[in-house]
Amino acid sequence: MASQPLSRDAATPSLPSPVSADLLDRITRQLAETAEQYDRSGAFPRANFDLLAKEGLIGLTVSRDLGGRGASLSEAIRVLGAVAKGEPSTALILFMTYHYHATPARARNWPQSIYERLAREAVAGRGLIGGLRVEPELGTPVRGGLPATVARRTADGWALTGTKIYSTGSTGLDWFSVWAKTDEAEPRVGNFLVRADGAGIDIEPVWDHLGMRATVSHAVHFTDTPTPLDHAVDIRRPDQWATGAGDPSLAIWNALSISTIYDGVARAARDWLRAYLNDRVPTNLGASLATLPRVQEKFGEIEALLQVNRTLIRDAAARHDAGDLPSAVEVNTIKYLTTANAIRAVEIGLELTGNPGISRKNPLERHYRDVLCSRIHSPQTDTILIAAGRAALGN
């Protein structure tokens, strides 16, 4: 008997069991062991995803009727925070897959069979997907404009031609969701689902940034890359995108996940700093640096910053899960505050350690480079603060 299509929005009879704290602690420790290696090599962290797949965590946010855990936002950020504390590039790549499966409206227009295929792949420990949106000339589409990447109709479907930059996870993803325009007389714009091992794809290894180096956010070039007709999974007129139609939780997931990932970096820095301050005993002091009131004061400042982060992130996630959705202005302001707090927390560590803190033999230097990358994620600070100011002024 043929199986019936499964609804992505179906209610589940009970809440899924949370991932155990012991498992998350173990994952953090294991990922931290090779974090420096991936930072130096800039390679895709394949072994990290093998570990996450083994523990059944790739399909965390896939609905339970498709075999996943059906995790809430609160549960997903618990996992992302633990992964980020160990190796943040892994968390950023993982977040993209979580995001696709956690926000049903994003895939509501997709053909059911295609979505279910990706969902079941994720449950099986594969199916990593990332959105390829940024271009050399356009920049990020968040600020408006049509992409230069073109999807041309063919006898068998579509052929994509164009270049995407800052393509997070490029060499390790299974699927690309490519933002492109059609070659029709009145172009439509949207997402074309492309197998990462498809023809006409060339990945140019140009990602050599300050931090988050294992995200392998290289340039991806498409040259008449074929994709089936029904893999134009969500294409609309440009004005339909401009109306903001879609799932309001998209902005919430993005803002709180990014906040969580960089908060995880700051917490890893805090833990290293605590050990350093307790172990460092200058001969002229005769006691550890941790006993100095000035050091205790500054470490207390770090704790205060991270406590604020935890409170803001958890409260907003809990509201989302309860159906009381925070506004985009609210959650983007949380992103602005928590990432700034994370940067400041690591900077305080550098102030307390001096030269050892910026030595590559100590992880604090890497944590600082990674946490600075929080500033570049959309929406950026100017967009966030202008929106907050307009809302407060009633404009």
Per-residue pLDDT in tens (0 to 9) along the chain, 395 residues: 333 333 334 444 456 779 999 999 999 999 999 999 999 999 999 999 999 999 999 999 999 999 999 999 999 999 999 999 999 999 999 999 999 998 766 666 788 899 999 999 999 999 999 999 999 987 677 666 789 999 999 999 999 999 999 999 999 999 999 999 999 999 999 999 999 999 999 999 999 999 999 999 999 999 999 999 999 998 888 888 765 555 678 899 999 999 999 999 999 999 999 999 999 999 888 899 999 999 999 999 999 999 999 999 999 999 999 999 999 999 999 999 999 999 999 999 999 999 999 999 999 999 999 999 999 999 999 999 999 999 999 98
Angle CA(171)–CA(88)–CA(52) in degrees, nearest 5? 70
* Residue 112: predicted pLDDT: 87
284-to-208, 288, 289, 332 alpha-carbon distances in Å:
42, 11, 11, 47
Q: Within a 10 A sphere around the Cβ of 385, how many other Cβ atoms?
A: 14
**DSSP codes joined into one string, 223-266:** EEEEEEGGGEEEEE-HHHHHTT-S-THHHHHHHHHHHHHHHHHH
Query: Two tokens at 293?
Result: 């009131």
The overall pTM is greater than 0.95: no
Contact 95, 80 (CB under 8 A): yes
* Residue 3: predicted pLDDT: 36
- What would the pLDDT profile of 209-245 be if each residue is shown by its tens digit? 999 999 999 999 999 999 999 999 988 888 887 655 5
| DSSP code for 205 | -
Alpha carbon 141 to chain centroid, angstroms: 17
Residues 329 and 244: their CA atoms lie apart, in Å, by 14
Contact 342, 374 (CB under 8 A): yes
* Residue 139: predicted pLDDT: 65
| DSSP code for 15 | P
* Residue 145: predicted pLDDT: 77
* Residue 143: predicted pLDDT: 65
* Residue 14: predicted pLDDT: 58
Contact 140, 92 (CB under 8 A): no
Handedness of CA 124, 112, 106, 223 (dihedral sign): positive
Residues 332 and 368: their CA atoms lie apart, in Å, by 22
Contact 178, 194 (CB under 8 A): yes
Residue with tokens 């134009």: 232
Residues 73 and 204: their CA atoms lie apart, in Å, by 34
Give the 3-state secondary structure of residue 355.
helix
* Residue 4: predicted pLDDT: 37
Residues 76 and 95: their CA atoms lie apart, in Å, by 9
* Residue 225: predicted pLDDT: 98
* Residue 248: predicted pLDDT: 79
* Residue 85: predicted pLDDT: 98
* Residue 104: predicted pLDDT: 62
Handedness of CA 60, 64, 66, 67 (dihedral sign): positive
Handedness of CA 175, 179, 181, 187 (dihedral sign): positive
* Residue 228: predicted pLDDT: 96
Percentage of the chain beyond pLDDT 70 is 92
* Element housing 315 (H / E): helix 293-321
Q: Going from the N-terminus, what domains does the chain have, and what CATH number goes with each?
A: 21-127 (1.10.540.10), 131-242 (2.40.110.10), 249-393 (1.20.140.10)
